[in-house]
Amino acid sequence: MSIQKTLSLIKPDAVAKNVTGSVNARLEQAGLRIVAQKRFQLTKTQAEAFYKVHSDKAFYDSLCEFMSSGPIIAQVLCGEDAVAKNREVMGATNPANAEIGTIRRDFGESIEHNAVHGSDSIENAAIEIAFFFSGLEIME
Ligand code: CMP
């Protein structure tokens, strides 16, 4: 167990549904602290850079189109085992397979329009946080 930071994105589908406050409440109820947060719209090029690990996948173009289709919220979450805890609160990638009470189950629509993204490891969390935030923007 350790105090970690992780990157969370509230995706365009959840922002369009106006449920960002509800998502944040789930995160906070799980003991995660939002130590940085901003709202903006990615360009398609920026989305492609963020998701470049998936560039060989059939869904890559559609995913990047969707992620640049409207405003998102990027946030840094901090807490005990934050990477795993956030993934637990998010639920499985496909909302249809996510546990009842998880963010994706309650707010996601499909495997692509799945409401939130969360880093999958401590190493990737550091890379993904640095993609969106400077150190000055993170206030613990
Ligand atoms: P995310 O956690 O943002 O990481 C990569 C995203 O790719 C994932 O959530 C899904 O939204 C999307 N994704 C993964 N698998 C598929 C798929 N089979 N079809 C469409 N989108 C997918």
Ordered DSSP codes for 22-90? HHHHHHHHTT-EEEEEEEE---HHHHHHHTGGGTTSTTHHHHHHHHTSS-EEEEEEEEETHHHHHHHHH
* Ligand 1 atom closest to 118 (CA): 2
Query: What's the mean pLDDT in 92-107?
Result: 98
Catalytic residue among 42, 115, 117, 132: 117
CA 16 to centroid of ligand 1, rounded, Å: 18
SS3 118: strand
DSSP 86-110: HHHHH--SSGGGSPTTSHHHHH--S
User: Does residue 112 line the site of ligand 1, with CB under 6 A?
Assistant: yes
User: Does residue 7 line the site of ligand 1, with CB under 6 A?
Assistant: no
- State residue 1's pLDDT score: 74
Is there a catalytic annotation at residue 113?
Answer: no
How does pLDDT run across 17-41, given as a tens digit for each residue? 999 999 999 999 999 999 999 999 9
